[in-house]
Amino acid sequence: MCKTQRQTDPRTERTPHMHPLADQILIQRYHSGDREALERLLQRWNTEVLSLAYRLTANREDALDIRQQTFLKVYNALPAFRAESRFSTWLYRIVVNTCRDHLRSSETRDRAHDDALTPGAAVERTAPSQHDLCEQREAYRLVAHSIMALPAVEREIIVLRHYQQMPFTEIAVVVGSPVTTVKSRMMRALKRLRHDLATLTQDADDRAAGPGAAPGYKDDPHAMR
Amino acid sequence: MQCDDVIRLLPDMLYNEIDAQSREQVSEHLVTCASCWAEYESFKRTVQVLDQWPPTEAPADTAELARLLEGTASRPTPRHWILRRPVLSGLAAGLILFLGLLALNVHVSAHDGGLILSIGRRPVVATTDANLLTQQATDNPDLIRYVDDRVEHSASLAGEALVEYIHDWTVAQEQRQLELFTLMNQLRQQDVGQVTMRLNALEETGILARQPGSSVKNPSMPYGQPDRQRTMPDWQPGRVVIDNHVYQAVYNEQTGQFELQKLTFQEDSEMYQ
């Protein structure tokens, strides 16, 4: 079915246990009546689904809800799932769409993200001192806030690329936009993040630059706008 | 390589999606160009900082989840509905698509400002055209509520975005048809670039088959008015009907993209070629 010499999927290489064939085998086994196959399928994707939902909502409780909704939709659709389709892409689309719905609903719109960004919401890293712990906590809050402050379309792309390590071509399918759009949104997101996170990169030039300017090269005709 | 090219390739560079040759050219440019180098380095720092947001731990409850899911398998009693929704004035495309589950043969066709989706012999459709408003029982009444709910909140979305909402409720068979439906919308708006892009993306995921499947003769199908009977064309994967024209998605080896070719109806064989 592939028309070109497709390069090996870098994600497959990095995480060989997530090979698409395994999903197809599990689904087939489930169709043949192997009930354990369902649990194994959920197990394979449990962390990824939650991780994606968490970073799109910055709220662990919501992420758990979304995970459950996602798996329910998967379960309902399993009986007719075609083996030729890539399960992972389809699954990620469901997560992304479920998160979009969730973030649009009026309940969540009014809720401040601050409530959710408590230390318990994320895995604590051991720090040698209280000062470091406090700094770390601040750092992650700032990163999370900055990502949540992005427009939804940009946030999806940066989360999928950076945290889910998804290649741009796959992101394009998952979010339903051309690759060029994906990449330009990526750059816009990075510009905003560069500005918002300048205190963390400890770069005076980054901080001085606005979200759309190049650091220290305001008169440079080649500077990015 | 020029600065503009380098800037364009920054996402690929930052995430290691660049081919060896381009990477070499970019590196050579970065050695000599201070402004591009500064840009690259500053974005690299930003990307590294993102790792300071750790993940949240996933509960080890998949066994429980699996049991829960299997326990939800239920058979709601089928009901007959007429969708009584006022015209959704916000929808530019003017169409809401509603699908039932468990489709075997799904056909999509455009008709007088509305769109008909039929599953097997049953038309299952919701549109803003009052004449075409029909809706039949499905096995999943929750889907109806879901559509209604989405309609409440999403009246301002264009047709394609709304289809996206409904998208993840469909099974893979319908998924293919929905994608084609979106394509049809785009065709209506003459957005050929989007069409070829979308077809390309479909091919990547394996949703759209390059080779036509087996031909299926479809029975004639009454629409809202019983006196209007129409013979549906042979249905094959990658085939759509728009405004009484049939199009087939065909792969172009030279451009590496899919194109929609208009087919003509062969009277003598009563088939589309």
Over residues A136-167, the pLDDT tens digits come to 678 889 999 999 999 999 999 999 999 999 99
pLDDT score for B179: 54
Chain B, window 149-178: residues with a beta carbon less than 8 angstroms from a chain A beta carbon? 150, 153-154, 164-165, 167-173, 175
A103 in reach of chain B (CB within 8 A): no
B266 in reach of chain A (CB within 8 A): no
* pTM, full prediction: 0.53
A180-211 pLDDT per residue, tens = 999 999 999 999 999 999 988 875 555 555 66
Task: Please name the residue that has the structure tokens 């009026």.
Answer: A106
Q: Is the predicted pLDDT of residue B268 greater than 50, yes or no?
A: no
Nearest CA in chain B to A209: B42
Q: Is the predicted pLDDT of residue B44 greater than 50, yes or no?
A: yes
A83-99 pLDDT per residue, tens = 556 788 889 999 999 99
On average, the pLDDT of chain B sits at 53
Nearest CA in chain B to A3: B256
Residue B260, min C-alpha distance to chain A (Å): 17
Residue pair B203/A84 in contact by the 8 Å Cβ criterion: no
B187-241 pLDDT per residue, tens = 444 444 454 455 555 444 444 433 332 222 222 222 222 222 233 334 444 555 5
Distance CA A110, CA B250 (A): 48
CB spacing of A90 vs B175 below 8 angstroms: yes
Tokens of B177: 């048809």
CB spacing of A201 vs B15 below 8 angstroms: no
A152 in reach of chain B (CB within 8 A): no
Give B153's contacts in chain A (Cβ within 8 Å): 104-105
Tokens of A27: 């689904």
Give B39's contacts in chain A (Cβ within 8 Å): 214-215, 223-224
pLDDT score for A80: 75
- What 3-state class would DSSP assign to A95? helix
B72 in reach of chain A (CB within 8 A): yes
Q: Which of A169-178, A214-223, B247-256 has the lowest mean pLDDT?
A: A214-223
* Residue closest to B203 by CA, chosen among B146, B259, B243: B259
Inter-chain Cβ pairs, chain A and chain B, closer than 8 A = 194
Facing B52 at nearest CB: one of A76, A140, A176: A140
Q: Is the predicted pLDDT of residue B180 greater than 90, yes or no?
A: no
Distance of CA A19 to the CA centre of its chain: 19
Q: What residue ranges do the domains of chain B occupy?
A: 3-51, 95-272
pLDDT score for A108: 55
A12-44 pLDDT per residue, tens = 433 434 566 667 777 877 887 878 888 888 988
Residues contacting B79, CB < 8 A, separation 6+: B137, B141
Task: Give per-residue burial for B236-258: e unless 16+ CB within 10 Å, then b.
Answer: bbbbbbbeebbbbbebeeeeeeb
DSSP H or E run through B115: strand B114-119
Give A73's contacts in chain B (Cβ within 8 Å): 168-169
Measured in degrees and rounded to the nearest 5, phi and psi for residue A124 equal -75, 140
* Residue closest to B247 by CA, chosen among B264, B231, B230: B264
Nearest CA in chain A to B169: A73
Question: Testing the interface with B: which of A183, A207, A225 to mutate, by most B Cβ within 10 A?
Answer: A183
Residue A11, min C-alpha distance to chain B (Å): 11
The conformation of residue A32, written as its DSSP 8-state character, comes to: T
CB spacing of A3 vs B52 below 8 angstroms: no
Classify domain A17-113 by CATH number: 1.10.1740.10
Nearest CA in chain A to B163: A97
Distance CA B138, CA B99 (A): 8
Give B1's contacts in chain A (Cβ within 8 Å): none
CB spacing of B52 vs A84 below 8 angstroms: no
Instruction: Please indicate whether residue A8 or residue A22 has the higher confidence score (pLDDT).
Output: A22
CB spacing of A186 vs B201 below 8 angstroms: no
Facing B54 at nearest CB: one of A1, A93, A140: A140
In this prediction the ipTM stands at 0.76
Average pLDDT over residues B174-195: 50
CB spacing of A73 vs B169 below 8 angstroms: yes
CB spacing of B171 vs A187 below 8 angstroms: no
Name the fold adopted by A117-213: Arc Repressor Mutant, subunit A (1.10.10)
DSSP alpha helices (H): ranges in chain B? 3-8, 10-14, 20-32, 34-49, 62-71, 141-153, 159-167, 172-188, 192-205
pLDDT score for A127: 40
> Helices B159-167 and B172-188, interaxial angle, to 10°?
180
**Partners of A41 in the beta sheet?**
none
Distance CA B7, CA A224 (A): 8
A46-85 pLDDT per residue, tens = 999 999 999 999 999 999 999 999 999 999 888 877 655 6
Facing B42 at nearest CB: one of A90, A144, A203: A203
Residue pair B207/B265 in contact by the 8 Å Cβ criterion: no
Give B102's contacts in chain A (Cβ within 8 Å): 80
Q: How many CB atoms lie within 10 A of CB A175?
A: 20
CB spacing of A72 vs B17 below 8 angstroms: no
pLDDT score for A21: 63
Instruction: Tell me what percent of the residues of chain B surpass a pLDDT of 70.
Output: 26
N-to-C CA span, chain B: 48
* Residue closest to A51 by CA, chosen among A37, A70, A74, A78: A70
Q: Which of A100-114, B15-29, B60-74, B91-105 has the lowest mean pLDDT?
A: B91-105
B45 — pLDDT class (breaks 50, 70, 90)? very high
B70 in reach of chain A (CB within 8 A): yes
Q: Which part of chain A is CATH 1.10.10.10?
A: 117-213
B119-130 pLDDT per residue, tens = 333 333 333 222
